[in-house]
């Protein structure tokens, strides 16, 4: 009989967390979703909720919102790790960012925790264009972004979730750092062109200076911490030459190639997510 694990999925309603939770549940494991809306609740802004969520758990999948690079993330991961040890958790799987120096500090906390661990560093998600801040301009048919020609090997959240599940369930991944990427690089310009072709829509793309992009977000009343994160990602991450590196870690872990961006586009187009906004 297959051994059941009790697994806390922090961010279990998010882009990767919900997929990790579904896959673990289907595999017969006991899954606890860590979010503010669940019982017991898990709130990154209230460390007193963490112990209740960790109680009785063998393993934890950690996704930090909004990103491990933001101020306060390091202290939160340090405290979570301490509480996990007190709760007798055996293993941590941390979702991290590829090419984020601040995120690597958080990784070191997990690595030196004394617990079994796997670090999953992911490139930018395919789903940023269908579930995140890039979606609205795509629907509106006009996309203006900085770093227009930086090449990124976008990775699919299905692949990230599959790797995370493997890491949670199998000890052979203990102590490993995986860097997950898609099989090819694309610029923002190329991404929008591929989406436009697949949806048979006219979607204009315009390169814009980062300073102008930040100015527009401020005018639109975007929260300051989110603006800080965007500025960080567009400078520190997209400005890092290692951003374009393609790895074979997904194939190494899963025994199959990663999902290509074109397959993600086909699935998203079929689902109607990029259908143009209807205005009366």
Report the CATH fold assignment for 6-125+154-182+244-258: Rossmann fold (3.40.50)
- Token output for 182: 């898609």
Question: CA 151 → CA 9, 124, 143, 171, 258, distances in Å?
Answer: 31, 11, 17, 34, 17
CA atoms of 172 and 165, how far apart (whole Å): 13
Helical residues (DSSP H) of the chain, grouped into ranges: 17-26, 50-54, 73-86, 101-111, 135-140, 157-169, 188-199, 210-219, 224-232, 249-254, 261-270
CA atoms of 69 and 119, how far apart (whole Å): 15
Question: With 0-12 CB in 10 A as exposed, 13-18 as middle and 19+ as buried, what is 198?
Answer: middle
CA atoms of 10 and 247, how far apart (whole Å): 26
CA atoms of 234 and 153, how far apart (whole Å): 15
> With 90 as the cut, is the pLDDT of residue 153 above it?
yes
* Residue 161: band (very low, low, confident or very high) from pLDDT cuts 50, 70, 90: very high
Our CA dihedral for 61, 63, 69, 71, rounded to 10 degrees, sits at -100
Q: Any idea where the domains of the chain sit in the sequence?
A: 6-125+154-182+244-258
What pTM did the predictor assign? 0.95
- Token output for 265: 């586009």
* Residue 1: band (very low, low, confident or very high) from pLDDT cuts 50, 70, 90: very low
75-133 per-position pLDDT tens digit: 999 999 999 999 999 999 999 998 788 899 999 999 999 999 999 999 999 999 999 88
Mean pLDDT (whole number) for 166-171: 98
For 93, half-sphere exposure in the C-beta direction (CA atoms, 13 angstrom radius) is: 29
């Amino acid at each position: 009989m297959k051994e059941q694990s009790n697994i806390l999925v922090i961010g279990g309603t998010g882009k990767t967390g919900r997929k990790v939770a579904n896959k673990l549940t289907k595999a017969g494991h006991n899954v606890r979703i860590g979010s503010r809306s669940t019982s017991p609740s898990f709130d990154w802004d209230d460390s007193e909720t963490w112990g209740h969520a960790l109680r009785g758990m063998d393993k934890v999948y950690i996704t930090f919102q909004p990103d491990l690079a933001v101020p306060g993330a390091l202290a939160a991961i340090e405290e979570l790790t301490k509480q996990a040890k007190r709760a007798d958790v055996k293993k941590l799987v941390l979702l991290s960012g590829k090419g984020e120096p601040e995120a690597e500090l958080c990784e070191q906390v997990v690595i030196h925790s004394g617990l079994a661990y796997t670090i999953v560093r992911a490139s930018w998600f395919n789903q940023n264009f269908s579930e995140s801040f890039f979606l609205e301009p795509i629907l509106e048919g006009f996309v203006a972004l900085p770093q227009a020609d930086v090449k990124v090997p976008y990775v699919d959240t299905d692949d990230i979730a599959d790797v995370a599940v493997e890491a949670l369930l199998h000890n052979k991944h203990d102590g490993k750092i995986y860097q997950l990427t898609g099989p090819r690089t694309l610029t923002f310009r190329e991404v929008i062109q591929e989406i436009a072709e697949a949806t048979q829509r006219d979607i204009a793309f315009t390169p814009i200076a980062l300073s102008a992009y930040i100015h527009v977000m401020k005018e639109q009343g975007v929260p300051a911490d989110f603006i800080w994160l965007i500025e960080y990602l567009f400078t520190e991450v997209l400005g890092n030459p290692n951003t374009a590196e393609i790895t074979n870690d997904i194939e190494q872990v899963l025994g199959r190639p990663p999902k290509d961006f074109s397959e993600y586009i086909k699935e998203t187009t079929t689902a109607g997510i990029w259908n143009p906004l209807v205005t009366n």
